[in-house]
Structures are given as C-alpha cells and as structure tokens.
Amino acid sequence: MARTGGRNSWIAVPAGILCAAVVASLVWLALPMVPVAVAWVGDTLRSATAPRPEATPAQTPAQTAADGGAIDCRTLYADDLWNELTWREGSLLDQSMAAPATAATAFADAAAPDVLVTCTWRFDSGGIVTTLSKVDADAATIAEAALAGDGFSCRTADGATVCDRTRGAVLEEHTLRDGLWLVSVETAWHPDDYGRRLDHTVWG
C-alpha cells in the first residue's frame, strides 16, 4: 500500500485520538448549557410574538390641575407651538401668577379665578398673555352671558364654552371647561389656531 510522503503513522494516530478526546470533552462541557440555550430560544420567540403593552398616556394639564399638581408654562404647550413661540424674533417668556389679562373685567371679577399659571410672551412685534385658572363649575354659564354681552362670540362644544373677540390688533379667546378657565390675549401676532391648539393640549 502506498504511503503519503511526510506522514508518520506513529504521530498521526495519537494526534487523531487526542483531537477526538478534545472534541468529546468540549461536547461534555457544553451539555449543561443545552437547557439554557433552549430556554433562551424559547424566551426570544415568546418575546417576539407577544403583544406589546400600550404606553400609558401622559396626564393632560387639566388632569394634573384636578389632582392638585403644579402647572407651569411648558406644561401648557405642545412641542410644535412651544417651538413656534420660543423661536419668534425677540421672544421672552415671563411666568407668574398674575391675574388674567382679559378686558372683560366684569366677568373676571364674577368668576373669582384661582390662578394656576400666567404665561406672558413678549416679542419684537406684539405679545401673548395666557392664563389658566380654576373657577367654579357654574362659571361657564356666567361666561356665555357675560362675554356675549361684551361683544364676544360664544359657542358650546364637547362640554366647553368657547368665546372670542377681535378688536383692532387684539384677539381675546376664552375656554371654560371642567372647572378651568383658559384665557389668552394676543396682540399684533396671532399664531395659527393658537386657542384651539392650546385647548387640545390642556384638555386632550
């Protein structure tokens, strides 16, 4: 029988036995990990096919106010409107507990608001003052009569009383709902749908 040059059977046989022993040892050492690997594969498949839990929606400012939580100006604005205001030329925000800037002083006195936050925005051209307050539940009924008599256009929808009036460069908007009163006075600059967008953020 021909032999391959350079191969020594005295070395090849022990080397083959040694390799087989090493492989057998590795298999023996790996055996305890087989159940772990099977469990990992099972967990991975279950995670991939299990329905994902829905994210818990964040509280609206109205819900936070009802729970007695603190409200600040950043809370009132969705990101897009906040960016629009902060990037306006000359934008300067002052947060306070000042009384509503409404010209409807008779209604403001009757409503006796408990101010939660007032956000006063100043720009190179114009400004906006928005106030969120707690009021009595019957304030909405008073508002519709009082504000309509003061030249405001009022309507009721989705449990909210909404009134607005434009005089010259000043647009004033009021929303009363769920014991809260949101009033904004916009001078010279009126962001698109400012009042509606603010209502959506506050009440959802």
pLDDT at 158: 86
- In the three-class reduction of DSSP (H, G, I as helix; E, B as strand; rest coil), residue 8 is classed as coil
Instruction: Determine phi and psi for 74, rounding to 5 degrees.
Output: -65, -30
Rounded Cα–Cα distance for residues 25 and 50 (Å): 38
- In the three-class reduction of DSSP (H, G, I as helix; E, B as strand; rest coil), residue 16 is classed as helix
Rounded Cα–Cα distance for residues 64 and 30 (Å): 56
The arrangement of secondary structure in 61-203, i.e. its CATH architecture, is 3-Layer(aba) Sandwich (3.40)
Rounded Cα–Cα distance for residues 146 and 24 (Å): 92
pLDDT at 1: 47
Separation in Å, CA 92 to CA 69, 76, 86, 121: 25, 16, 8, 6
Q: Give residue limits of the domains in the chain.
A: 9-49, 61-203
Tell me which residue of 183, 158, 160 sits closest to 173, measured CA to CA.
183
pLDDT at 181: 97
pLDDT at 186: 98
Residue ranges for the chain with pLDDT beneath 70: 1-16, 22-23, 26-31, 33-34, 36-37, 40-43, 45-57
pLDDT at 137: 86
The model carries a pTM of: 0.73
